[in-house]
Structure 1
Amino acid sequence: MSSSTADLPVVVVGAGPAGLAAAAHLTGYGVPHVVLEAGDRAGAAVLGWGHVRTFTPWRWLLDRQAAGVLAPTGWVRPEGEVPPTGRELVERYLEPLAAALGTVRTGARVVAVAREGMDKARTTGPDARPLVVRVRRRDGSLEELRARAVLDASGTGERCPLGANGLPALGEAEARAAGLVVGGLPDVLGADRSRFAGRRTLVVGMGHSAAGTLLALARLAEEEPGTELLWAIRSRTPRRLYGGGAADQLPARGAIGSLLRALVASGRVELVPGFRTARLDLVPTADGPAVDVTGSDGWSERTLTGVATVVAATGSRPDLDVLSEVRLDLDPGLEAPRALAPLIDPEHHSCGTVPPHGHHELAQPEPGLWVVGSKSYGRAPTFLVATGNEQVRSVVAALAGDTAAADEVRLDLPATGVCSTDLRPDPEPAACCG
């Protein structure tokens, strides 16, 4: 670290679980910092799926250092085996933590990170200059902050398109504009109930969002006659999503696969395997506009007709535009740090089999820049909050010069199964992290 940057703060991007855990560890080391949150409150992105329950009990979610920051405030530590909803996670943990830290700025959207006085094509002595973080305020004006280091914990907010080739399917933009395509975690049993009740819904995807939405739709179908459920996946079999069942260390996570398997076997969910979405066509119906969705298995086409709503549970991508002027070394497929990618590759790992990793695996060619939390996993859908907590502990220790702590990375994760669910005795929608 250069003497010219030693007195500058560390900028943490995002006030979600990883960002606030990072801030707690920075506080523990006495390192000046600021957390920049685009939303109006800490955990704003989590509130986007606030109706959803994670599969993970509190003990796997709470960062130890963060709990230490909260302890003197009279905070009551959540306990028990019932996983929290997204809203409970925010209200009982993230918002109290943000208040206790006192370093969180809301309404501050980071739009770019760069090196002061240099573009990324120049590589001579960049560590002698501070990083610059450009921020858009609530009123639309811009400001720039000089930083000793930047931890990007902004998550993966870019939704993947329906097209099987990674591009939007033909007609997808028009279908979205018409309101016929929604994201992967609609509030099926609450605010969005009227959209799905008594109508034909297609869920596309084979991750936790798809599974939870299907379970919620199945429950709705019991209450609302005429509710039809289609589930399209690119794979030939949903075996991977069915997961570990009763052998799963997280009972809620194992239950989601068992319930979904039973729904398909009973015919309450019509499974369409080997379906690669290619085209969406708007069609009029007696009940209003609908969409015909055409896909291919590589040999022949099939069209799913009269779909009132398509739930695009196709995953998410990291927004890398804000890092376009700093040097990154990312895996070309997963868009995760190159050293991390083979450790999290969903072709070989579930969320519970990811090996320990820390500042070494997360480091970038740009000195002082780390991508952490769910954003570090790129397109891999296997992130756990516990993993992010250990990531930021290691990175912050490295920033503080505590090499021994930074290098001693330990990761205790529940093994087997899919990577999230939202089950209590009654099925509810699945969560996007755990």
Structure 2
Amino acid sequence: MTLLKETDYGTPERESGETVSLTIDGKHVTVPKGTSIMRAAQMVQQPIPKLCATDMMEPWGSCRMCLVEVEGMRGTPASCTTPVADGMEVRTQTQRLEKIRRGVMELYISDHPLDCLTCAANGDCELQDTAGEVGLREVRYGYDGEKHHGECAETKDTSNPYFSFDPAKCIVCSRCVRACEEQQGTFALTISGRGFASAVAPGAGDFLGSECVSCGACVSACPTATLTENSVIEHGHGNRTVRTTCAYCGVGCSFDAEVQGDRVVRMVPAADGGANEGHSCVKGRFAWGYASHPDRVLRPMVRESTDDPWREVEWDEALDHTAARIRAIQAEHGRASVGAITSSRCTNEEVYAVQRMVRTAFANNNVDTCARVCHSPTGYGLKTTFGTSAGTQDFKSVEAADVILLIGSNPSDAHPVFASRMKRRLREGARLVVAD
């Protein structure tokens, strides 16, 4: 769930040199072989209702909301798990399908709390949206389940410091379980019980005691308020988003910061982020409290000497003071007496701006970055081997690797999001060689 409404095609994109042509509700479409009916329908603006499907994960086919009719095929197959075929004729909107979907939605609502107005996901709930989409206006099965009477309230899991787990609002779509497995590779969640008693369980205990690494993949995947950030529960949703880059490590994950005024409410990993593709680690996802911390310095301060107290000034005065001191130092000690060292937490654009300032304003080449100190052997080795001291491939290329060689690196700690990609490839059969 997110404030920024992006198109979710329901199933991942398939890469194939072959194409398939079919008709969906009278609209002709040509898609790569292996594409699901659901994704093909979305491509021609014929969205199919769904709850368990998302294009961030492989199809599951458990919610039964995405049923369609296919000419010549018996029954009503799930569009998320049914691949297209050449010449296929698909119908996504018929009276029969409407009746089936409305009946399935009735079953969901009959065992779901109706506290929408006070729910943290109000207005940002896929169950709520889908109920309106299928035209549900009444429930024939009553509201006598334990989830309607608050008997599940005492089972709410607040052990995790960043998000809460409310089993009363769970529709057992398995999206959180699959996100933990497919995106993060931690396998901290499972489905316990069978039939109507099925429920999501974090291992044998609570979230804090499980293998959970608090990456937030399950929270992003949840279509209801079952898994919700504590910051959203406390402050509500943001009213605008700002695209930003996480600076905790060198992966450079893209995030959409949801804010209220100047206060960050939550950080949502960007689905179109080239480095992270909608995934995150605990730092980028939740460790942003410093942004609104009362001790954070928000205005520039200057002092004439180390013995003087700091005083707040306007930016113009701060910049004039800094420029005057730099000019004075260069006049006394020479042009090469000043330089700049950038932090490894700076973005590439910020580092570029600093070196540009040094070369043009300071008129020298005294610019460095702290990352060079620890990574100079790496850079030397890369330049000797590949002709450049930078990476030669993007992160996505690991998905095609047959052998992965790690030298003096611990990506699970240092670059968790890339480590998740790497572990996913290893589960698919790639070999790992570690040299420490």
Give the TM-score of the pair, scaled to structure 2: 0.26
Q: Which has the higher contact order (CA 8 A, sep 6+)?
A: 1
> Whose radius of gyration is greater, 1 or 2?
2
Give the TM-score of the pair, scaled to structure 1: 0.26
